Chain A
Amino acid sequence: DAKTTQPPSMDCAEGRAANLPCNHSTISGNEYVYWYRQIHSQGPQYIIHGLKNNETNEMASLIITEDRKSSTLILPHATLRDTAVYYCIALINTGTASKLTFGTGTRLQVTL
């Protein structure tokens, strides 16, 4: 699985959009980009994933660059409850369940 690089921390004002970047310059053609977040003292929560196209769900949007070397997770209207560590993970499609390798992630602090 490709290595991902994320900034260690970010701040965002409540109500504003939070844009969390992730670099995955060595990603291969069949590797998906997954985003999870971990709120303090809880298990990770799945947010969104994508392969090539931009994706949107009720939680967030995922923007993947055309060359697939980077992506951005967008929380359109951040709230205090979005304060968490966000993990970007590249994962190859093997046809069976594959282990996730968590890096250090980005600690997002949403403030009033």
Chain B
Amino acid sequence: GAVVSQHPSWVICKSGTSVKIECRSLDFQATTMFWYRQFPKQSLMLMATSNEGSKATYEQGVEKDKFLINHASLTLSTLTVTSAHPEDSSFYICSAEPGVRGNQPQHFGDGTRLSIL
């Protein structure tokens, strides 16, 4: 089955530093990947759509300069949280879809728990 891998699974860092999260599709190619954020006891909220070879599309209210997305290959998208602050602490999850919409469901990584001190 389709596997999506995220790394790291957990990261703790000081306020003001930048953190990069990787999302890889291990056994399929994905021209589109999605990045979500989930705060405690809340549902997943889409942050942005990552498109291979082009700029990401950000949801309303998500700062593109703070959450940098790079989708340089068909199997890797990265999310960089720049100058992270405690309010950026959250659970970040990516997803990717093999094949054509309606035939193949999206598959999710196991998430990255980010804690900013």
In the complex, what distance in Å separates the CA atom of A94 from the CA atom of B106? Answer: 14
In the complex, what distance in Å separates the CA atom of A32 from the CA atom of B100? Answer: 13
- Count residues of chain A with CB under 8 A from any CB of chain B: 27
Dominant SS at the A interface? loop
Cross-chain contact of B6 among A43, A91, A94, A103 (Cβ < 8 A) = A43
In the complex, what distance in Å separates the CA atom of A9 from the CA atom of B84? Answer: 35
Binds B, one of A16-24, A44-52, A67-75, A76-84: A44-52
A95 at the B interface (CB under 8 A): yes
Contacts beyond the supplied A95-B100, A102-B36: 7 A-B pairs with Cβ under 8 Å: A38-B44, A44-B95, A44-B108, A93-B101, A97-B32, A97-B34, A103-B43
Q: Show the binding face of A for B, using Cβ within 8 Å.
A: 32, 34, 36, 38, 41-46, 49, 51, 87, 91, 93-105
